[in-house]
Amino acid sequence: MAESVLQSKDQFSGIPLESDPEIFTDLLHALGVPSLEFRDVLSIHTNDLLPGADLALPSTVHAFGLVYNATRAYEAGIRAERQKARDEGRGYAGHGDGEPVLWWEQTVRNACGLFALLHAVANLDLAGHDFVEKDSLLATLLRNAIPLGPTERAAALKNSDGIAQVYNRAAQRGTSEPDEDEVPGHYVCFVRSPKDGHIYELDGGKNGPVDQDEFLGGDRDMLSGGLKLVRDFVGSRMDPAKPYFHLMALVSSSA
């Protein structure tokens, strides 16, 4: 992790964001995206969620946010691969409008839920979408972050007083007792790139975004392709001793 990021201030509470669609939605609105919301996804099988099905979502899925208990081996492998890539000069260095997706390295402690949310809404349109209110916290962050490399981009988020304030308020609303030694679960986002149409895995703990187009066999439908990724994660990367996961979808607001 870059020295300049480690030395930047950290006003975030360190309390993990509870996987509750109401909390995520209120945080999303506070950041400046009033026309979208998060919804619980009650099945990981596509047919159950198609329009007209009993568990169908109210509108088109823009992104999925998954929180799950990963195995220790998988988490250790992520860290080892990221460090290996940096040692070999392959550390992610994407920046600017040419990126297929906008990605942040997670440098805020216990805030992977915030990073999943940001990865979902930042990639509706890299240049700023009608969903995002002009001069909102999110619009300001995107405008400042897009030209930056990963280290500077991470610092821009970590140093945002306004985002820290709204995040801390949201994190305080959880009903679970936080355990600083073992935070339950890790968030990852699946979203379709507005540039190339591929579905990407966005995890701030990895060495940049992961293009899942090959794994999905070219399936670029957010519902079917996204759920295939969810099934793979909970089937092969979740800790069988702690088989917990929760899935939310980013959709247009029903209000």
DSSP 25-57: HHHHHHHT-TTEEEEE---SSHHHHSTTSTT--
Instruction: Provide CATH code, domain 3-252.
Output: 3.40.532.10
CB 95 within 8 A of CB 223: no
Decide if 112 is catalytic.
yes
Element (H or E) spanning 246, and its range? Answer: strand 245-252
Domain coordinates of the chain in residue numbers?
3-252
- Answer whether residue 174 shows pLDDT above 80: no
Residue 132 and residue 121: Cα distance in Å, rounded?
8
Check 112, 119, 189, 198 and give the catalytic one: 112
Q: How is residue 238 annotated by DSSP?
A: B
Total count of residues recorded for the chain: 255
The two tokens of residue 138 are 């999110």
Does 4 score more than 50 pLDDT? Answer: no
**The predicted structure's pLDDT at residue 70:** 83
Q: Are the C-beta atoms of residues 175 and 102 closer than 8 Å to each other?
A: no
Nearest residue to 202 via CA among 130, 147, 122: 122
Catalytic residue among 62, 119, 186, 198: 186
Tens-digit pLDDT profile for residues 178-190: 555 454 588 999 9
For residue 197, count other CB atoms closer than 10 A to its CB.
11
Distance CA 177, CA 174 (A): 8
pLDDT, the chain, mean: 89
Q: Mean pLDDT over residues 4-10, rounded?
A: 49
Tokens, residue 53: 């099905």
CA distances from 230 to 22, 145, 221 (A): 21, 28, 14
Q: pTM for the whole thing? A: 0.90
Indicate the angle between helix axes 137-145 and 161-171, nearest 10 degrees. 130
The reported pLDDT for the residue numbered 9 is 62
Q: Look at 71 and 180; give whichever has higher pLDDT.
A: 71
User: What are the tokens at 64?
Assistant: 């999925």
d(CA 122, CA 255): 22
Active-site annotation holds for 186: yes
| Model pLDDT for residues 77-128, shown as the tens digit of each residue | 888 898 899 899 999 999 998 899 999 999 998 899 999 999 999 998 644 4
Amino acid sitting at position 101: V
* Number of helices (H), then strands (E), in the chain: 9, 6
pLDDT at residue 5 is higher than 70: no
DSSP H helical ranges for the chain: 3-6, 21-31, 46-49, 72-87, 112-122, 137-145, 150-158, 161-171, 222-236
The interaxial angle of helices 21-31 and 112-122, nearest 10 deg, is 60
Distance of CA 158 to the CA centre of its chain: 16
Q: Report the distance separating Cα 232 and Cα 33, nearest Å.
A: 30
